[in-house]
């Protein structure tokens, strides 16, 4: 039988696209309203096909931004054998039709219809009904596709694990193999964002302020608190990326994130996030119930931010500033020592200003691209001026709080040469002003923390601040 007489059936999830449409659409609904989670259970009781139909009917996904496998697209477009091409997927018919129309070149699209789930054995049976036993070729990627390959003429294996590829060869002739790409430790490293763990060093600030940083037992407790916040933060980054797929894919830089690009499967992130959270709380309860309560507040605000707060202008930056300050409270609870009101006030003003700086860079980017609004955020191009005014004002207020603290009796009791601390004010003024100046010129990374860790002048300012504090002690 010639190729031209045999239809080519192509799977969608994991084959044509490097993601899963059921999870994509479910996450889109959860992002819109978390209470959909309870409805998922009710729909699932009536079957997977019913679940997929109900979710697809309510979710909105731009199929043009999905992470398509460029190799498979090129292979489909370059193949000039003229045979019938069918997009055959366990995803709902709505997504099958939308993707087939967007990609083009398909003669037909088959998907789950709300009653019949077109996956695994169901897909194999449906294709055999249409084309007969061994009457079609099939391109797939997963272990469930072995049911289809077992009844197909030839297999095209895409991005499959070695074990799946070996079993596919045992079921039928393998015509072509597209090797496994993505994943690996580099993708996980990007998803977990260890460079962002630098923010969690704020837990050591209360130890430094109380002059207990080099006390062995106290420093060890601070180290465990740091580890707990790092695990919890990475879990939050995973969840945030899973809930922000559509907005990330529209962003010039964030589209390369592992889940948005399809380098990591969505189900892996959904499994890893709760595991990291449980590990964080195991450490937290081992330290103290008070610290566990602070970490719970951090996790709760982070979850609220991912689900809703990040889309509300001003509330989002207040939440970010609060999350920075909670880290300081957590460090105090881990030792434990009282959290200084001076320190908390300084933190809120400083980090509110930095959160505004982050939003300024994002808004400036969409203004330069002549777009109306930042995707997934509550800001538009017309907000540039107010954001700059609020950010600069808050940053300079943090310098004022620092100056008032230096002049207080609190600093006199903790530092023998407290007057030396006055040198911190011009250093902080310089750094804040310079950061905003670079942002206005479009030379600042959209994350101030990344900027601070990679900018030479910022590192010099940090070293100078450490020297000033050491001299004051």
pLDDT of residue 119 exceeding 60, the answer is yes
CA 251 – CA 238 distance, rounded (Å): 17
pLDDT of residue 71 exceeding 60, the answer is yes
Instruction: Tell me the H-state helices in 104-200.
Output: 121-131, 146-149, 162-171, 184-192
Measured in whole angstroms, how far is the alpha carbon of residue 415 from the centre of its chain? 42
Sign of the CA dihedral with 375 first, then 379, 383, and 386 last: negative
pLDDT of residue 398 exceeding 70, the answer is yes
Per residue in 401-444, pLDDT tens? Answer: 999 999 988 888 888 888 999 999 999 999 999 999 999 998 88
Per residue in 126-176, pLDDT tens? Answer: 999 999 999 999 999 999 999 999 999 999 999 999 999 999 999 999 999
**Looking at residue 275, what is its pLDDT?**
97
Q: How far is CA 196 from CA 191, 234, 247, 445, in A?
A: 11, 9, 20, 14
**Looking at residue 83, what is its pLDDT?**
86
**Looking at residue 446, what is its pLDDT?**
67
**Looking at residue 17, what is its pLDDT?**
97
Rg (CA), the chain: 27
CA 415 – CA 403 distance, rounded (Å): 15
Higher-pLDDT residue of 382 and 268 is: 268
- Residue 437, C-beta contacts closer than 8 angstroms, at least 6 positions apart: none
pLDDT of residue 1 exceeding 60, the answer is no
**Looking at residue 16, what is its pLDDT?**
97
Sign of the CA dihedral with 172 first, then 173, 175, and 177 last: positive
pLDDT of residue 373 exceeding 80, the answer is no
Residues forming CATH 1.10.600 domain(s) in the chain: 185-472
Phi-psi category of 251—alpha, beta or left, where left has phi over 0 and alpha has psi -120 to 50? beta
Range with the poorest average pLDDT among 58-67, 153-162, 194-203, 428-437: 194-203
Please give the share of the chain, as a percent, with pLDDT higher than 90: 74
Which token pair is 172? 């039928």
**Looking at residue 272, what is its pLDDT?**
97
pLDDT of residue 183 exceeding 80, the answer is no
Report residue 268's pLDDT band, with 50, 70 and 90 as the boundaries: very high
Residues forming CATH 3.40.50.1000 domain(s) in the chain: 3-178
Per residue in 99-108, pLDDT tens? Answer: 999 999 999 9
Q: How far is CA 137 from CA 127, 254, 287, in A?
A: 10, 36, 58
Please state which of the four CATH numbers 1.25.40, 1.10.3470, 1.25.10, 1.10.600 is assigned to the domain occupying 185-472: 1.10.600
Mean residue pLDDT across the chain: 91
pLDDT of residue 362 exceeding 90, the answer is no
Query: 206 and 332 in contact (C-beta within 8 Å)?
Result: yes
Buried b (16+ CB within 10 A) or exposed e, 73-103: eebbeeeeeebebbbbbbbbbbbbbbbbeeb
pLDDT of residue 291 exceeding 90, the answer is yes
Helix (H, G, I), strand (E, B) or coil at 10: strand
CA 235 – CA 276 distance, rounded (Å): 6
Q: Does domain 3-178 have CATH number 3.40.50.1000?
A: yes
Range with the poorest average pLDDT among 97-101, 210-214, 349-353, 463-467: 210-214
pLDDT of residue 90 exceeding 80, the answer is yes
Dihedral pair phi/psi, residue 374, rounded to 5°:
-80, 125
Q: Enumerate long-range contacts of 396-402, CB under 8 Å, 24 or more apart.
A: 396/353, 396/429, 396/432, 397/349, 397/353, 398/346, 398/349, 398/350, 398/353, 398/428, 398/432, 399/425, 399/428, 399/429, 399/432, 401/342, 401/345, 401/346, 401/349, 402/346, 402/428
**Looking at residue 2, what is its pLDDT?**
55
Which token pair is 40? 């998922």
pLDDT of residue 80 exceeding 60, the answer is no
Which token pair is 281? 């709380």
Peptide bond preceding 363: is omega within 30 degrees of 0, i.e. cis?
Answer: no
Report residue 382's pLDDT band, with 50, 70 and 90 as the boundaries: confident
Query: 240 and 306 in contact (C-beta within 8 Å)?
Result: yes
Q: Which residue has the tokens 């007057």?
A: 419
pLDDT of residue 195 exceeding 90, the answer is no
**Looking at residue 79, what is its pLDDT?**
67
pLDDT of residue 284 exceeding 60, the answer is yes
pTM of the model: 0.86
């Amino acid at each position: 039988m010639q190729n031209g007489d045999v239809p080519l059936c192509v799977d969608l999830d994991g084959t044509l696209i490097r993601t899963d449409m059921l999870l994509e659409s479910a996450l889109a609904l959860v992002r819109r309203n978390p209470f959909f989670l309870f409805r998922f259970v009710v729909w699932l009781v009536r079957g997977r096909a019913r679940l997929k139909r109900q979710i697809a009917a309510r979710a909105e996904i731009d199929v043009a931004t999905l992470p398509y496998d460029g190799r498979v697209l090129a292979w489909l477009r370059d193949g000039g054998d003229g045979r019938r091409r069918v997009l055959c997927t366990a995803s709902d018919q709505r997504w099958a039709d939308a993707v087939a129309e967007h990609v083009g070149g398909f003669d037909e699209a088959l998907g789950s219809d709300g009653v019949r789930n077109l996956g695994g054995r169901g897909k194999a049976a449906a294709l055999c009904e249409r084309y007969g036993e061994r009457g079609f070729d099939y391109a797939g990627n997963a272990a469930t596709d072995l049911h289809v390959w077992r009844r197909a003429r030839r297999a095209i294996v895409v991005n499959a694990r070695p074990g799946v590829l070996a079993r596919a060869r045992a079921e039928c002739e393998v015509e072509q193999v597209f090797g496994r790409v993505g994943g690996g430790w580099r993708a996980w490293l990007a998803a977990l964002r260890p460079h962002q763990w630098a923010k969690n060093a704020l837990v050591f600030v209360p130890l430094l302020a109380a002059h207990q940083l080099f006390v062995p037992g106290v420093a060890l407790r601070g180290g465990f608190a740091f580890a707990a916040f790092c695990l919890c933060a990475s879990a939050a980054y995973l969840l945030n990326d899973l809930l922000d797929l559509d907005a990330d894919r529209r962003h010039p830089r964030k589209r390369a994130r592992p889940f948005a690009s399809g380098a990591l499967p969505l189900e892996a992130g959904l499994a890893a996030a709760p595991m990291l959270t449980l590990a964080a709380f195991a450490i937290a309860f081992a330290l103290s119930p008070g610290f566990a309560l602070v970490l719970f507040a951090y996790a709760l605000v982070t979850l609220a931010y991912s689900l809703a707060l990040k889309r509300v202008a001003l509330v989002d930056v207040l939440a970010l500033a609060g999350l920075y300050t909670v880290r300081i409270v957590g460090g105090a609870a881990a030792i434990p020592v009282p959290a200084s009101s001076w320190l908390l006030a300084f933190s809120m003003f400083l980090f509110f200003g930095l959160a505004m700086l982050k939003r300024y860079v994002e808004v400036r980017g969409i203004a330069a691209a002549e777009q109306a609004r930042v995707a997934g955020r509550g800001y538009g191009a017309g907000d540039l001026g107010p954001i700059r005014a609020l950010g600069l004002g808050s940053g300079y207020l943090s310098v004022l709080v620092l100056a008032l603290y230096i002049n207080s009796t609190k600093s006199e009791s903790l530092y023998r040469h407290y007057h030396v601390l006055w040198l911190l004010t011009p250093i902080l003024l310089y750094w804040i002003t310079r950061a905003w100046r670079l942002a206005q010129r479009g030379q600042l990374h959209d994350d101030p923390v990344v900027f601070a860790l990679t900018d030479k002048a910022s590192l010099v300012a940090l070293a100078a601040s450490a020297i000033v504090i050491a001299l004051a002690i």
